[in-house]
């Protein structure tokens, strides 16, 4: 085809040349007589080009072009015929009535047709046929899969792969042909030649082209055939395991029939997946992996080594051979091998630094490698595997090339240093000097954030460097261009600065932000200054802070003015300072959001002010732990493996309760019950995991009602359950009356789990009812007709005994909530209180008693008291909220332990309500 010149491109002729309207108009060349192959090929190329760059044709336009293209079938030009098939394949998804050209395409799929365009015909046919026609073309595909010409066989295998989701049952019957393609001893090249295998059509050795097959060295057909085989067998683990063992070639790997390196790499990945799913196969597959480590292909060696390094629970002995192979790659002249090896070793060093340490000499040689990506991974690995003596030398080498690498790799190095600080705290001087140096360098937000967070960790874990690190951060915010980082540093200065020996030296840097920065940073600076004022021991410093805050009252931004006014008031009144500045607990944000949403959606709630007393609190440390980002080192330095694609973290209790509230709000009957006071944090399992029917229970407590949510799963694919209900029988005098039951009309394996709701009315809402329920699952069981997939007319009633459901005080009426124990304990001195003594003779240690009490009461342990420091005497402090207006409750458990007598417990309870005290004592007294 003719290409537009540079001048034509500049003048806009190129856009006209590849314009959709122009191309549709020029499609008249398909009707010329005689046909010009050169013009038609050029136009078809332009059509395909437009489709590849994202241009779309309407259904009518695509249909016109499609059927115009099919007129070229009669021409004998092979190159034109190839372009025709390429255009047909791309237009088939948009054009209408494309199935009409099936017979013409199938004619070119015959074994006696030209080899040059037979693969194109196979690929085009795959796009055109619908699932119902797959059986009609089965014999053509079977013959093509075992064809001796690689291009034909590969086209058939890849097309079968794409047909599989549409016609699984038909493609599964081609497994023998795919197996034959995998085991093929010889193949021929792309060039025309003997194009048949004699299958179904007899011998086709006398093709009209006259060429003979030329042996190919790529064996790419094996790669495509292996992919199809696995797709067919992936649900049958035994079949996949057998395939791996047959194709693996034994312990040495020499007996394998696979000649294609990519096919072997694919087989290794399948083997690694089987090993992950079935730990019993680990030894057999590990032997195969070690055989593949000796393969002549570097690609196969690396894939096997990486698979071994990523094994679950792999030990140092099993890693020896894989690390030896990666060590050889470190000395390779090929950059890709060095990069692959260093990247894999960097990931492995996170879990097995001692095993990787044997490669340290080779890795040090790579620090000066001209490929800075290789050098970065080498240094990152050395930082994790090196000893304390090598830290200073490595820091000097890192400094030399930090300016030559991208921000992405700078983050990797900074995160490695961040973990090294904790490992070798005595080396904090050199590491802090390095971090402060790179903090002054040019860089983006992610890089600067990584450096700042590394300093934050040093301040948190290494007390000796706190003052110096804070000084470096103060200098950084003088010219920091990132608002988020400035705000975070000012917040840290407000927390750590007042505790420093000389807090006044930080105030100048903070007040400079009030003068020079934007409103967001100014507001953060005001808060930081206020913390210095509230926590100041020196009255002179407090007065100076007051003067600075008074100046902020004239700020142009209302947020800054409001904060300054508030903190001036707070500094004058100690109770306000305790509540707004010194308070160590904060509301659980997810719980706060859930309560606010319920308050806004409740029409009647607007008459009353929003009540925060029922919202659980958490410590600032817990809040920080919840919002902690994953290490950038884990995300970037480690290869994209199963580890990085792990499932997301489970939702918090408050998030789970919010989700339950949304579910219940969809049922109008439950809307009348009002707001949910509490929902179970974790569903209770009422059946064994192996049973055919699986049931879990979630309890929802309202002011005057109890709702039990049963999640029912049917694991039998050939059975449907109808009219599914759960019959609950409470103990006598439980104080609960059944209100309503919502059943599941129909439950199959595919729509499981379904939900059964059983509601009870609380006879006395002020009482905290504790009882147990006998539960029976009742349903009508019907068989599914395998031909129609519909249930049979007649079924039979059946029932299934479930585990009892317990309504307990600790798990259902008490919510964990953080508090400052000493101040709250003193505050509740005049409130309700109770003291009881218990003998816990069955407890074998104070630690066991602590664990049991925490689990029983479902309360928040405070101040690390859940871990006893003495085996004989201990005090456990707990805090919680009692739902339904019970308010805050604190528990102090004084315990002594002696052999033979167990644990003696003095239980002290203080609460805002007497009923809450009685509830806690009744739980422990049982």
Lowest mean pLDDT among 334-348, 412-426, 693-707: 412-426
pLDDT at 637 over 70: no
Q: What is the pLDDT of residues 248-304, one digit of tens each?
A: 776 655 667 788 889 999 999 999 998 888 888 888 888 888 888 888 889 999 999
Angle (CA) 357 359 365, round 5° = 125
Mean pLDDT of 908-916: 86
At residue 558, the pLDDT reads: 92
More confident residue, 635 or 261: 261
pLDDT at 192 over 50: no
At residue 649, the pLDDT reads: 54
pLDDT at 751 over 80: no
pLDDT category, 195, cuts 50, 70, 90?
very low
- Cis before 34 (ω within 30): yes
Whether 207 and 194 have beta carbons less than 8 Å apart is answered as: yes
- Cα 606–chain centre separation: 40
At residue 189, the pLDDT reads: 41
At residue 340, the pLDDT reads: 93
| Beta bridge partners of residue 814, listed in sequence order | 882
CB atoms within 10 A of CB 279: 11
DSSP state of 55: -
At residue 2, the pLDDT reads: 44
Residue in the block written with tokens 């050098």: 375
Q: Closest Cα partner for 708 from 690, 735, 730, 733?
A: 730
Cα–Cα distance, 276 to 314 (Å, whole number): 11
Tokens read off for 274:
């089987």
CB atoms within 10 A of CB 541: 17
pLDDT category, 399, cuts 50, 70, 90?
confident
pLDDT at 687 over 80: yes
pLDDT category, 641, cuts 50, 70, 90?
very low
Beta carbons within 8 Å of 45's beta carbon, 6+ residues apart: 1, 83
pLDDT at 686 over 50: yes
At residue 252, the pLDDT reads: 59
At residue 152, the pLDDT reads: 87
pLDDT at 186 over 70: no
Q: Closest Cα partner for 82 from 54, 56, 110, 48?
A: 48
Cα–Cα distance, 296 to 285 (Å, whole number): 19
At residue 527, the pLDDT reads: 92
Mean pLDDT across the chain, nearest whole number? Answer: 80
Q: Using CA atoms of 150, 154, 156, 157 in order, give the dihedral in degrees to the nearest 10.
A: 130
Tokens read off for 857:
């009461």
At residue 306, the pLDDT reads: 92
Cα–Cα distance, 477 to 515 (Å, whole number): 13
C-alpha atoms less than 13 angstroms from C-alpha of 878 in its C-beta half-sphere: 30
Cα–Cα distance, 813 to 768 (Å, whole number): 7
Q: Using only C-alpha atoms, what is the Rg of the chain?
A: 37
Q: What is the pLDDT of residues 590-631, one digit of tens each?
A: 777 777 777 777 767 767 787 777 677 776 666 666 554 444
At residue 851, the pLDDT reads: 87
| Start-end of H helices in 482-538 | 483-496, 504-516, 519-535
Mean pLDDT of 654-662: 71
Cα–Cα distance, 308 to 291 (Å, whole number): 12
pLDDT at 50 over 60: yes
More confident residue, 567 or 130: 567
At residue 629, the pLDDT reads: 42
pLDDT at 9 over 50: no
At residue 301, the pLDDT reads: 92
Ordered domains of the chain (ranges, CATH): 14-182 (1.25.10.10), 654-807 (2.60.40.1480), 812-925 (3.30.310.10)
Q: Which of 168-172, 557-561, 576-580, 783-787 has the highest mean pLDDT?
A: 557-561
Tokens read off for 401:
């090339």
Q: What is the pLDDT of residues 516-542, one digit of tens each?
A: 888 999 999 999 999 998 888 788 888
Q: What is the pLDDT of residues 122-159, one digit of tens each?
A: 888 888 887 778 888 888 888 888 888 888 888 889 98
pLDDT at 214 over 70: no
Beta carbons within 8 Å of 517's beta carbon, 6+ residues apart: 486, 525
């Amino acid at each position: 085809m003719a290409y537009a010149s540079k001048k034509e491109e500049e003048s806009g002729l190129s856009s006209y040349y590849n314009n959709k309207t122009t191309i549709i108009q020029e499609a008249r060349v398909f009707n010329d007589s005689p046909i010009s192959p050169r013009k038609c090929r050029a136009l078809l190329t332009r059509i395909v080009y437009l489709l590849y760059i994202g241009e779309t044709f309407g259904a009518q336009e695509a249909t016109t072009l499609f059927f115009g293209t099919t007129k070229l079938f009669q021409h004998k030009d092979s190159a034109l015929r190839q372009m025709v098939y390429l255009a047909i394949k791309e237009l088939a998804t948009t054009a209408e009535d494309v199935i009409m050209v099936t017979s013409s395409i199938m004619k070119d799929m015959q074994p006696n047709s030209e080899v040059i365009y037979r693969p194109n015909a196979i690929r085009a046919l795959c796009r055109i046929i619908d699932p119902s026609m797959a059986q009609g073309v089965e014999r053509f595909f079977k013959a093509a899969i075992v064809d001796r010409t690689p291009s034909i066989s590969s086209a058939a295998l890849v097309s079968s792969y794409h047909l599989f989701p549409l016609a699984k049952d038909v493609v599964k019957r081609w497994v023998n042909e795919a197996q034959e393609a995998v085991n093929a001893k010889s193949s021929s090249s792309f060039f025309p030649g003997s194009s048949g295998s004699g299958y179904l059509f007899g011998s086709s050795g006398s093709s009209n082209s006259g060429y003979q097959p030329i042996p190919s060295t790529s064996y790419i057909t094996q790669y495509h055939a292996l992919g199809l085989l696995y797709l067919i067998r992936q649900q049958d683990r035994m079949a996949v395991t057998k395939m791996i063992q047959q194709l693996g070639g034994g312990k040495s790997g020499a007996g394998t029939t696979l000649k294609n390196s990519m096919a072997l790499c694919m087989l290794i990945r399948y083997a690694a997946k089987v090993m992950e799913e079935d730990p019993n196969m680990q030894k057999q597959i590990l032997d195969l992996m070690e055989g593949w480590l000796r393969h002549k292909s570097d690609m196969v060696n690396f894939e096997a080594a990486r698979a071994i390094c990523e094994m679950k629970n792999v030990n140092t002995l099993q890693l020896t051979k894989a690390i030896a192979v990666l060590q050889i790659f470190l000395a390779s002249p090929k950059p890709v091998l060095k990069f692959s090896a260093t990247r894999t070793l960097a990931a492995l060093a996170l879990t097995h630094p001692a095993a990787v340490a044997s490669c340290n000499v080779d890795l040090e040689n790579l620090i000066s490698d001209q490929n800075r990506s290789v050098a970065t991974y080498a240094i990152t690995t050395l930082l994790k595997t090196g000893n304390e003596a090598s830290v200073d030398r490595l820091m000097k080498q890192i400094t030399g090339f930090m300016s030559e690498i991208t921000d992405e790799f700078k983050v990797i190095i900074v995160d490695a240093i961040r973990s090294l600080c904790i490992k070798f705290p005595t080396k904090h001087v050199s590491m802090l000097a390095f971090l402060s140096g790179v903090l002054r360098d040019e860089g983006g937000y992610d890089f600067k954030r990584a450096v700042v967070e590394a300093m934050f960790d040093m301040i948190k874990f290494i007390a000796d460097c706190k003052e110096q690190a804070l000084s470096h951060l103060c200098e950084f915010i003088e010219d920091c261009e990132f608002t988020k980082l400035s705000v975070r540093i000012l917040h840290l200065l407000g927390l750590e600065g007042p505790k420093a020996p000389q807090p006044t030296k930080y105030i100048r840097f903070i007040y400079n932000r009030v003068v020079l920065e934007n409103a967001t940073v100014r507001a953060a600076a005001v808060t930081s200054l206020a913390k210095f004022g509230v926590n100041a021991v020196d009255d002179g410093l407090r007065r100076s802070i007051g003067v600075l805050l008074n100046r902020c009252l004239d700020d142009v931004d209302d947020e800054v003015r409001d904060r300054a006014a508030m903190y001036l008031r707070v500094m004058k009144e100690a109770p306000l300072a305790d509540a707004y500045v010194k308070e160590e607990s904060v509301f659980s944000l997810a719980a706060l959001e859930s309560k606010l949403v319920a308050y806004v959606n409740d029409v009647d709630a607007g008459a009353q002010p929003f009540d925060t007393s029922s919202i659980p609190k958490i410590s600032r440390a817990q809040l920080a732990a919840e919002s902690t980002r994953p290490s950038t080192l884990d995300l970037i330095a480690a290869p994209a493996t199963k580890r990085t694609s792990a499932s997301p973290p489970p939702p918090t209790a408050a998030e789970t309760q919010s989700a339950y509230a949304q579910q219940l709000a969809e049922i109008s009957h439950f809307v009348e019950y009002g707001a949910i006071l509490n929902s179970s944090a974790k569903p209770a399992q009422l059946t064994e995991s192996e049973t055919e029917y699986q049931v879990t229970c979630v309890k929802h407590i309202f002011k005057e009602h109890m709702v039990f949510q049963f999640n029912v799963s049917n694991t039998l694919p050939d059975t449907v359950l109808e009219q599914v209900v759960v019959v609950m029988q409470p103990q006598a005098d439980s104080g609960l009356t059944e209100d309503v039951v919502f059943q599941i009309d129909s439950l199959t394996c595919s729509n499981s789990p379904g939900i059964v709701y059983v509601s009870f009315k609380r006879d006395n809402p002020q009482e905290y009812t504790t009882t147990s329920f006998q539960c029976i699952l009742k349903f009508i069981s019907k068989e599914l007709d395998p031909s129609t997939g519909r249930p049979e007319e007649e079924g039979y009633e059946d029932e299934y005994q479930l585990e009892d459901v317990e309504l307990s005080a600790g798990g259902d009426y008490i919510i964990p909530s953080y508090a400052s124990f000493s101040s709250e304990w003193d505050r509740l001195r005049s409130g309700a209180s109770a003291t009881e003594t218990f003998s816990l003779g069955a407890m074998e240690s104070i630690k066991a008693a602590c664990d049991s009490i925490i689990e029983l009461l479902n309360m928040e342990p405070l101040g690390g008291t859940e871990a006893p420091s003495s085996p004989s005497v201990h005090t456990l402090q707990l805090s919680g909220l009692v739902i339904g207006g019970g308010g805050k409750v604190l528990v102090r458990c004084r315990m002594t332990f002696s052999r033979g007598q167990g644990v003696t417990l003095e239980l002290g309870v203080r609460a805002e309500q007497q009923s809450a005290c009685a509830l806690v004592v009744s739980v422990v007294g049982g």
